[in-house]
């Protein structure tokens, strides 16, 4: 059975989607007014970096109601973790309690430039997971138990993201699930495999268009990659923490 969000979290998620698109629009307009032109591919909206705040705030509020005190939740500052293949990496949200790493979450989005950016997002997701698990294996977070990892993706609902995409089989055949798959379907495949292979404990994929998103509308294309599922999985990790007497 697919988990459902409580009405209050549902309302907050709609507002986060609206905020995402409204913030991107404001950033693009502001950049255009300043320079007289907009960056190609809405890059200024991407580099603005604040459009994901609404989603981060939902998780932070949810954690607070699940018993995690705010001083243990890091969103804006102190979000660096040591890596094994690199010195450090900034995550979007961390939970650190009494010197133990409890959870780390990535919040990502892709609007336009699907062909150029999908592989980059895939490599980032895989690389971040490989790096943190190698660091964990080598004792970087001791005395922490295995941390919980989450991945959130907001994808633009557009013709270019939902139509079939060809594959290149220059020397060898690609796996059949990728043939004729849109970028949306490729994200579904990617995130589902990342969770099933235990690179991440849970992942969420939201799809929203610029026009509908300004009204807070979105859809979840996969029952395995819902926002409710992400929160429930995280809550399970929180509930497993030892409680102070």
Segment-wise mean pLDDT, segments of 10 residues, the chain, 245 residues: 84 96 80 48 45 95 93 94 96 95 96 88 96 97 95 96 92 94 96 98 97 95 96 94 69
- Decide if 121 is inside a domain: yes
Length of the chain counted residue by residue = 245
Q: Provide the 8-state DSSP code for 42.
A: G
Residue 192 domain-assigned (yes or no): yes
Element (H or E) spanning 27, and its range? helix 7-35
Task: Tell whether 116 is covered by a domain.
Answer: yes
Which residue do the tokens 């995130």 mark?
191
pLDDT at 3: 76
Residue 245 lies in a domain: no
> What is the reported pLDDT for 48?
43
Q: What is the pLDDT of residue 31?
A: 55
Q: What is the pLDDT of residue 49?
A: 56
What pLDDT does residue 50 have? 85
> Whole-angstrom Cα distance, residue 164 to residue 201?
29
Residue 2 in any domain: the answer is: no
For the chain, the domain total comes to: 1
Model pTM above 0.85: yes
| 104 within a domain of the structure (yes/no) | yes
Helix, strand or coil, per DSSP, at residue 223 = coil
The answer as to whether 244 is a domain residue is no
């Amino acid at each position: 059975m697919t988990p459902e969000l409580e009405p209050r979290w549902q309302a907050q998620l709609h507002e986060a989607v609206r905020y995402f698109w409204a913030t991107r629009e404001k950033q693009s307009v502001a950049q255009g007014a300043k320079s007289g032109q907009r960056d190609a591919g809405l890059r200024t909206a991407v580099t603005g970096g604040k459009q994901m705040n609404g989603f981060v705030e939902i998780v932070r509020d949810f954690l607070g109601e699940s018993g995690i005190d705010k001083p243990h939740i890091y969103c804006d500052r102190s979000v660096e973790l040591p890596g094994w293949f690199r010195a450090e990496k900034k995550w979007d949200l961390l939970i650190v309690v009494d010197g133990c790493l409890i959870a780390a979450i990535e919040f990502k989005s892709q609007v336009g430039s699907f062909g150029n950016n999908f592989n980059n997002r895939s490599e980032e997701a895989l690389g971040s997971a490989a790096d943190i698990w190698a660091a964990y294996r080598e004792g970087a977070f001791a005395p922490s138990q295995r941390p919980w990892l989450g991945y959130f993706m907001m994808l633009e609902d557009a013709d270019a993201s939902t139509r079939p995409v060809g594959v290149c089989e220059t020397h060898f055949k690609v796996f059949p699930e990728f043939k004729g798959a849109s970028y949306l379907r490729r994200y579904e495949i990617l995130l589902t495999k990342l969770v099933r292979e235990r690179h991440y404990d849970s992942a969420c994929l939201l799809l929203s268009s610029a026009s509908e998103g300004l009204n807070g509308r979105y859809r979840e294309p996969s029952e395995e990659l819902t926002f409710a599922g992400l929160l429930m999985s995280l809550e399970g990790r929180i509930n497993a923490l030892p409680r102070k007497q």
